[in-house]
Structure 1
């Protein structure tokens, strides 16, 4: 019988697959193995990365360092930013209509929380494309921890006449909650525009990290030729690898992202679907932040 592939060769095959848009046949030809052997190696490596490294690499670090980082960017007492991105896939064998988005391609959603440096802190992947971002978030264990106040330390600051807990920042697709701030929509005056600017400036880190993720691991730019069971594993492995690259200071060429954006033009991300739900306490907090940004009283 043929000797088993070495660990080094399996890792090399997986990294090549992650970093290119090559099909399995092309990957196999590159390394002198057949299509099925290459596919098996990719999934073995992806499972090993997610099982052994995900909980160690994508985790909440020093909260105060993160809060200080976002404060330097303009938003006080912020712990993370949240957003989602759509990963194109081949048409699934079952319930394919649940995976089609408004841009008419099949996809899975990757939702992530990132820190001020653009590192993944928490990821949620595997939901079909028709699921709204807010529903995906509400059905996560992370939402329960944030709602119960057990995820972040009980660290509040006073803004105007309200207490501001450590918050996360989201786009209009998310509900407005005391611990989740999102921008104003509709008719905006100068004070609302200023809050939106500060919030968007900090929330931009999560959009940037999605760009860097797909620029480094270009298998996410095209329809992943995997089963719906294995796709979340590969996406999660790519997120782990991005964190490792960023923490090790691996070279990133700006041109990669420009090229990746061109390659991704066939799979345009859909516009955010805004929701209106908001808690009264959250409205008071956002109003206090808006006033403090206008008067210069917010600690940033």
Structure 2
């Protein structure tokens, strides 16, 4: 009985085990099938996402290409079309007097100026527009310098944009300074100095004069930094142009940019002209024996400058001057008027210096230097210009003397005064014989 029970129990356990094994296998098979289905679904999903991204990227690329083509079609017009009829008419039909009146030089000088600046101003042709021709660039700049006209008016005259007129003016100004400044503003050679000295001697009977020096104010907009330094005694903001001219009113040395409040003597002492003169490298060591002094080459200045061996100024005004000293002061003043007339002619030609210069303070010096170069260019070409303006002298009060140099300067001035007084006495005697009524 016991054995039968045991057999029945074992049979039941075997049957239970077989049943459990079959269930597990079926479950495992179902799980494997489900996993395979999931993998297939995931793979299909990934492929579908990739295809969607590719289609979207392709569609975006097409949109970008279409947008670029639209922008390219809209960008085909780089500048607003303007009429340049005025410039074309002026360039083809103006006579010489019209060119000289408006551009401050004859057509021949204008074309030669264009040839000089052509390497600096030639621009490549852009894809969608032509560059502004060189002759128009030079004309725009000269018109701005000569009239101080606003860029909005210049753009209408020449048929260019306002920003183009402004940038062209700046480019031409820089080109003038780069290509022409060292050619037209330079220390005279020995041969040129001989002509200058002889010119002052023949016209004003003053020996050993190599030039006249003075300064003038150029009005500017009050700068953002230190505006009070530029506010001069004439109640406007300015920078100082110090210039040295020969007997033909041509500049051979300039110093530009000092604030209008600075004294003329300080501008001189801080210039390269002063350092070269003090070191003896400015002029050749030519001297002329007058009375008991060897007179070197020197400049003529007004009372604002110090008395130096190479820089003479008038005797101090007062009641103690002799007739010969008064005559000497008159002769020196007449000779020194050369630099005043040069400033007047400079501002008369280039009226951007006569009125307030609206350029930025960092660019004002470039404009002034370019105007001085063009002034010499016109004077060299014998361009006539009669519309001279009165120059604003920097200072008119006397500057204290500079040590022992003043003593030597006085000796040289006294020697020249004795020579001038002898000439004056001879002239006075002749005049007295002709006109006995003279005092």
| Pairwise same-fold verdict (TM > 0.5) | yes
1:89/1:106 contact within 8 Å kept:
yes
Q: Which has the larger radius of gyration?
A: 2
1:153 Cα deviation after fit? 0.9
Give the Cα separation in 2 of the matches to 1:155 and 1:192: 25
State the match for 2:46 in structure 1: none
Measured in 2, the distance between the counterparts of 1:193 and 1:132 equals: 26
What is the CA-CA distance between 1:9 and the residue it aligns to? 1.3
**Distance in 2 between the 1:10 and 1:273 partners?**
43
The answer to whether the aligner puts 1:42 opposite 2:169 as a matched pair is yes
Q: Return the offset for 1:3.
A: 3.0
Cα deviation digits, residues 118-156 of structure 1 (max 9, x gap): 101011111110111111111111111111111111100
* Aligned with 2:364 (options 222, 225, 231): 231
1:63 maps to 2:63: no
1:269 shift after superposition: 5.0
The aligned residue for residue 23 of structure 1 is 150
The answer (yes or no) to whether the contact 1:78–1:169 under 8 Å persists in 2 is yes
Counterpart of 1:112 (choices 235, 243, 252) is 243
- Match of 2:361, SS state, is coil
For residues 263-296 of structure 1, what are the alpha-carbon distances to aligned partners after superposition, in whole Å with 9 as ceiling and x for unaligned? Answer: x9xxx65651211315211111111211221123
Compare the two structures and name the one with the higher helix fraction: 2
Find the residue that maps to 1:60 and give its secondary structure. coil
Indicate the structure whose relative CO is greater, using CA pairs within 8 Å and at least 6 residues apart.
1
Contact 1:23 1:225 in 2 (8 A): no
**Bigger mean CA offset, 152-161 vs 243-252:** 243-252
Look up the match of 1:12.
Answer: 139
Q: List aligned pairs for 1:115-126, cutoff 5 A.
A: 115-126=246-257
1:166 aligns with 2:297: yes
Tell me if 1:33 matches 2:160: yes
Number of residues paired by the alignment?
288
Aligned to 2:398: 274
List runs of 5+ in structure 1 lacking aligned partners.
Answer: none
SS state of the match for residue 282, structure 2? Answer: coil
User: Structure 1-normalised TM-score?
Assistant: 0.92
Q: Which runs of 5+ in 2 are unaligned?
A: 1-77, 79-128, 425-439
Match of 2:265 in 1: 134
Counterpart pick for 2:329 among 185, 190, 196: 196
Contact 2:304 2:395 in 1 (8 A): no
The CA deviation at 1:6 is 1.9
